[in-house]
Amino acid sequence: MTRPKVFVARRIPDEGLNAIAAACDIDVWPGQLPPPPDELRARVADCDGLVSLLTDRVDAALLAAAPRLKVVSNFAVGFNNVDVPACTARGVPVGNTPGALTDATADIAVTLLLAAARRISESAGDARAGRWLTWEPLGWLGQDLAGRTLGIVGMGRIGFATAKRLHGGWGMKVLYTARGPKADADRELGATHVDLDELLARSDYVSVHADLNPTTKGLFGAAQFAKMKRTAVFVNTSRGPLVDQAALAQALRSGTVFAAGLDVTDPEPLPPDHELYGLPNCLIVPHIASATIDTRNAMARLCANNLLAGVRGEPLPNCVNPEARKQ
């Protein structure tokens, strides 16, 4: 019996790779950088399965180049890099890795929020550069967290985990947006579902967790930053395109908002000369929210399970388009 052929678009942890290799012939892209689109298309041409990363665009052109493709297993919970309707139309199920990275991502949201509020990046840079001259009564003053109001934009898995940490640890009051009220957040965190304008006006901290979709692209522009408190801290661990970065830079420069912490930008990587890097009240880390050893191993296991189910024609354990199997 011929073994399924699978292209893995980057080296992922061995726990996932070995499970796939035990059942399939695998071709692993060896580069640190993603395969260019034409190379990706060429590599999947005779494949039954694809392991894609959030840096790989899976679109109609790729599907057309891969007539045998039975499954796309995305090594991420976000799947905005995949044209899901095109996959569904071709009958190709798309897998993702929900839950495995919820805690790690919520930890980074809290880290960014605390670090931006307390000016950690700026003050550490000053210390390293010899600008720590004495204990300063008015130096490096930041914002408190205890008892303040947290606004969660997108109360899904990661939004909830972030709110739980900040409500439980710092007694923060929680406001949130989502497409509807969330009974667990209301019950467990005493949270309140509000519209975005109210959330922006009332929150001391705004943490963004909504997925990138047509309703969230460009959700944060100059008008939204203007509605926030001048003492507010803005955190984004979701996706860069939710934010108009020029508007954010202007808001940070002018003191319209106090500080920002970003794990995601648009584009990624952000060019080293980008204006946001020049702002002392903007802390940027390179999309590391799921980057712990255990989390990446857990993602690799979920990713392999999705891939293997797909090449066998079985339902994926975590599928974003289960309707694809009916095509």
Ligand X SMILES: NC(=O)C1=CN([C@@H]2O[C@H](COP(=O)(O)OP(=O)(O)OC[C@H]3O[C@@H](n4cnc5c(N)ncnc54)[C@H](OP(=O)(O)O)[C@@H]3O)[C@@H](O)[C@H]2O)C=CC1
Place of tokens 């930890």: 107
Amino acid at 246: A
Tell me if residue 268 is catalytic. Answer: yes
> Is 53:76 a contact under the CB 8 Å cutoff?
yes
156 binds ligand X (CB under 6 A): yes
Shortest gap between Cβ of 57 and ligand LL5AMS7Z (angstroms)?
A: 15
Return the one option of ligand X, ligand LL5AMS7Z, none that residue 211 interacts with (CB less than 5 to 8 A, by type). Answer: ligand X
Shortest gap between Cβ of 74 and ligand LL5AMS7Z (angstroms)?
A: 8
* Torsion (CA) 140, 141, 147, 148 in degrees, nearest 10: -90
What is d(CA 6, CA 26) in angstroms, rounded to the nearest whole number?
A: 5
Amino acid at 135: W
Residues 234-263 contacting ligand LL5AMS7Z, CB under 6 A: none
Interface pick for ligand LL5AMS7Z out of 62, 69, 76, 94 (rule CB under 6 A): 76
| DSSP H helix total and E strand total for the chain | 12, 12
| Two tokens, residue 13 | 């942890």
What is d(CA 260, CA 247) in angstroms, rounded to the nearest whole number?
A: 12
Size of the site for ligand X (CB under 6 A): 32
- Of 33-41, 86-94, 282-290, 318-326, the window that binds ligand X (rule: CB under 6 A) is 282-290
Size of the site for ligand LL5AMS7Z (CB under 6 A): 6
User: Would you tell me how many other CB atoms lie within 10 Å of the CB of residue 180?
Assistant: 7
What is d(CA 205, CA 149) in angstroms, rounded to the nearest whole number?
A: 7
List alpha helices for the chain, DSSP H.
Answer: 14-23, 37-44, 60-64, 84-89, 102-117, 120-128, 157-170, 183-189, 196-202, 222-227, 245-254, 293-311
Return the one option of ligand LL5AMS7Z, ligand X, none that residue 164 interacts with (CB less than 5 to 8 A, by type). Answer: none
Tell me if residue 323 is catalytic. Answer: no
Residues 271-290 contacting ligand LL5AMS7Z, CB under 6 A: 290
Closer CB to ligand LL5AMS7Z, 101 or 112, in the complex: 101
Catalytic residue among 43, 165, 239, 296: 239
Residues 8-67 contacting ligand LL5AMS7Z, CB under 6 A: 54
270 binds ligand LL5AMS7Z (CB under 6 A): no
Residues 81-120 contacting ligand X, CB under 6 A: 98, 101-102, 105
77 binds ligand LL5AMS7Z (CB under 6 A): yes
Tell me if residue 287 is catalytic. Answer: yes
Task: Name the strands in the sheet holding 71-74, side by side, starting at the edge strand that comes first in the sequence.
Answer: 25-28, 5-8, 49-52, 71-74, 94-95
Catalytic residue among 268, 274, 296, 325: 268
Closer CB to ligand LL5AMS7Z, 17 or 76, in the complex: 76
Strands 173-177 and 149-153: parallel
- Would you call 102 helix, strand, or coil by DSSP? helix
Return the one option of ligand X, ligand LL5AMS7Z, none that residue 230 interacts with (CB less than 5 to 8 A, by type). Answer: none
H-run or E-run covering 5: strand 5-8
Shortest gap between Cβ of 28 and ligand LL5AMS7Z (angstroms)?
A: 19
210 binds ligand X (CB under 6 A): yes
Tell me which residues touch ligand LL5AMS7Z (CB under 6 A). Answer: 54, 76-78, 101, 290
